[in-house]
């Protein structure tokens, strides 16, 4: 059965899990965890991504990320590639470090944000690595940052604690109480939140046929949320381009630039439009970067850099549909 496409659009909340190939260790020592954490911080600083929780275990990790201009796929590609290069060089190995694909589940933020934060930060407690009373000092989850015992600046601390109160001290007390309540709870947030939202399997089976909801195991949320996600994806699916001329016409109209200037004049005024042409031509016309660069009179390295900037621009404005539909 072919695997489903990953759901990735601006503004989505993603629970990301990645494991070592054959479930082998990808963090052999604390220095490896430090190196990985540094790379998370670096990528967050370079992107519009927001982080709400993280946990580094021996052979896998969890991240809770909300996308902005930067797509999840690009963020993860940079993070995993950078760490794999570091790890292979340090430990004198070659080949793949991670399983073929990281797992990403798009989540209903209103319903699951706090539950996911708790679930991710309790991973080492439930694995009997650390006792709950010492979790606030444990180095390898974001919990300590929420408790004020770290200064990484990775987590959206004010937003998270804001759910528990306006005064920081009281908010932290309520937050830790909430976390402790989850220690004895068996939680599963691997996607497809329909059973949980229905009140359990017994309640779900009582529903009439005409009450059934949409379900997708890539999505953590009820039927209404699944429909919202599909509606967002439909905008991207509606995009159809015949050729470079049609793409150029749409970019020209959107940015108010002449087509001949976009193609032939690499000046500051048309630079953004040129970058977008590189990105959308590659994505929707399946043209390689070298070929697109040749059309614009630039070499492959410059075209690759332009494509990256074009992707950031498209994500900044809210997706390709804004230009192409």
Residues 34-45: tens digit of each pLDDT: 999 999 999 999
pLDDT at 208: 45
Topology, domain 244-324: Chromosomal Replication Initiator Protein Dnaa; Chain: A; (1.10.1750)
- CA proximity to 93, closest of 18, 140, 24: 24
Per-residue pLDDT tens over the stretch 80-103: 999 999 999 999 998 889 987 889
Contact 10, 65 (CB under 8 A): no
Contact 63, 53 (CB under 8 A): yes
How far, in Å, CA of 234 to CA of 79, rounded?
28
State the angle between helix axes of 271-284 and 244-255 in degrees (0 to 180), rounded to the nearest 10. Answer: 140
Half-sphere exposure of 167 (CA within 13 A, CB side): 3
Percent of the chain beyond pLDDT 90?
55
Residue with the larger pLDDT of the pair 205 and 92? 92
pLDDT at 63: 97
How far, in Å, CA of 207 to CA of 244, rounded?
51
> What residues does 15 pair with on adjacent strands?
64, 105
Residue 287 has φ and ψ, to the nearest 5°, of -90, 140
pLDDT at 318: 72
How far, in Å, CA of 252 to CA of 257, rounded?
5
Asked if pLDDT for residue 182 goes beyond 90, the answer is: yes
Structure-token match 């604390």, residue found: 30
How far, in Å, CA of 276 to CA of 310, rounded?
4
323 Ramachandran zone, left/alpha/beta (phi>0; psi -120 to 50): alpha
Domain ranges of the chain: 13-181, 194-237, 244-324
How far, in Å, CA of 141 to CA of 138, rounded?
7
Look up the CATH superfamily of 13-181.
Answer: Transposase IS200-like (3.30.70.1290)
Q: How many residues does the chain have?
A: 325
Is the pTM for the entire model greater than 0.85?
A: no
How far, in Å, CA of 59 to CA of 205, rounded?
37
Q: Which helix (H) or strand (E) holds 157?
A: helix 157-162
Per-residue pLDDT tens over the stretch 299-325: 988 998 899 889 878 877 877 888 987
């Amino acid at each position: 059965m072919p695997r489903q496409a990953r759901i990735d659009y601006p503004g989505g909340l993603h629970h990301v899990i990645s494991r070592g190939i054959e479930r082998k260790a990808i963090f052999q020592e604390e220095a490896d965890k430090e190196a990985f954490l540094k790379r998370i911080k670096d990528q967050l600083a370079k992107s519009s991504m927001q982080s709400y929780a993280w946990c580094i275990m021996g052979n896998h990790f969890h991240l809770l990320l909300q996308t902005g201009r930067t797509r999840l796929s690009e963020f993860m590609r940079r993070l995993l590639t950078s760490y794999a290069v570091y790890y292979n060089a340090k430990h004198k190995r070659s080949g793949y470090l991670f399983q073929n694909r990281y797992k990403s589940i798009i989540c209903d933020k209103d319903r699951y944000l706090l539950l996911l934060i708790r679930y991710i930060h309790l991973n080492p407690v439930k694995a009997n690595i650390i006792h709950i009373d010492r979790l606030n000092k444990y180095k390898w989850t974001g919990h300590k940052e929420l408790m004020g015992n770290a200064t990484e600046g990775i987590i959206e601390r004010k937003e998270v604690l804001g759910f528990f109160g306006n005064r920081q001290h009281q908010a932290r007390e309520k937050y830790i109480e909430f976390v402790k309540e989850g220690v004895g709870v068996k939680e599963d947030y691997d996607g497809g939140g329909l059973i949980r939202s229905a009140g359990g399997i017994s309640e779900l089976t009582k529903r009439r046929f005409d009450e059934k909801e949409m379900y997708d195991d890539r999505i953590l949320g009820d039927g209404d949320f699944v429909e919202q996600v599909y509606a967002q994806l439909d905008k991207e699916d509606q995009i159809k381009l015949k050729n470079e001329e049609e793409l150029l016409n749409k970019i020209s109209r959107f940015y108010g630039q002449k087509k001949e200037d976009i193609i032939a004049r690499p000046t500051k005024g048309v630079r953004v439009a040129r970058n977008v042409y590189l990105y959308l031509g590659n994505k929707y016309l399946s043209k390689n970067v070298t070929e697109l660069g040749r059309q614009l009179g630039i070499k492959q390295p410059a075209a690759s850099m332009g494509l990256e900037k074009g992707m950031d621009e498209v994500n900044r404005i809210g997706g390709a549909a804004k230009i192409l539909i």
